[in-house]
């Protein structure tokens, strides 16, 4: 019994310290959020991740705040900032080894799609296709079927843009690139797409040789 009381005292002290730490972390984040210090709030929360591994709600809150930050940039039509913030959030998710939040993934898809639209608007079709390819890489393995569909849709749009840019062979090469990355066929891609691009590529090369 004499040994039990000191151990119990230590356990209680650790629990109290943990509660105090949680109150400090979440309370500080709440104050920053109310003051619209969003970047400071995320840095504050992220800094406590290594010492609060038991608190899964911290990870969820960080990803939620990161998603909100990307959303604000999109609403302000700051596509460049949205891209930067999403890449930052994605890198943090990869470092933590935890899957990306579905909401953050959704904003990432919208960010890359709108970046592609902006490039296409200025006639930079190959650059637009690169953004659609980034969307494909991001979401083709997403747990959500609708997000995987958007990934395929973006990939198809990218192929079309490369053709519009007079580069059917580059579009064909992207299919091979996608197959290699996936270790097989591209899910949902019709066979006639590759066949058609093969024909267009051959015709393009024939015109160059003349």
| 34-56 pLDDT, tens digit each | 776 777 777 877 777 766 665 66
Question: Mean pLDDT lowest for which of 5-14, 26-35, 182-191?
Answer: 5-14
**CB count, 10 Å around CB of 41?**
22
116 within some domain: no
| CA distances, 26 to each of 52, 87, 121, 186 (Å) | 12, 25, 43, 44
In a domain, 14, yes or no: no
- State yes or no: pLDDT of 71 exceeds 80: yes
The answer to whether residue 64 sits within a structural domain is: yes
The Cα 206–Cα 200 span in angstroms is 10
Domain ranges, residue 91: 33-100
pTM metric for this prediction: 0.80
Domains in the chain: how many in total?
2
90 plus 128 within the same structural domain: no
pLDDT of residue 167: 94
How many Å apart are CA 65 and CA 190, to the nearest integer?
39
């Amino acid at each position: 019994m004499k040994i039990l009381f000191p151990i119990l005292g230590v356990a209680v002290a650790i629990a109290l310290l943990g509660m105090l730490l949680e109150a400090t972390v979440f309370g500080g984040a709440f104050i920053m959020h109310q003051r619209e210090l969003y970047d400071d709030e995320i840095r504050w929360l992220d800094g406590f991740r290594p010492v609060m591994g038991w608190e899964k709600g911290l990870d969820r809150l960080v990803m939620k705040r990161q998603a909100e930050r990307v959303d604000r940039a999109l609403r302000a039509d700051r596509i460049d900032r949205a891209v930067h913030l999403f890449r930052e959030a994605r890198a943090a998710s990869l470092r933590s080894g935890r899957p990306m939040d579905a909401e953050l993934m959704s904003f990432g898809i919208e960010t890359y799609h709108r970046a592609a639209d902006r490039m296409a608007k200025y006639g930079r079709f190959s650059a637009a296709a690169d953004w659609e390819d980034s969307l494909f890489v991001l979401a083709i393995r997403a747990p959500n079927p609708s997000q995987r569909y958007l990934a395929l849709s973006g990939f198809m749009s990218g192929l079309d843009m490369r053709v519009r840019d007079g580069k059917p062979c580059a579009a064909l090469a992207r299919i091979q690139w996608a197959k290699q990355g996936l270790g097989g066929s591209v899910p949902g891609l019709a066979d006639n797409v590759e066949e058609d691009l093969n024909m267009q590529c051959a015709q393009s090369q024939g015109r160059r040789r003349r």
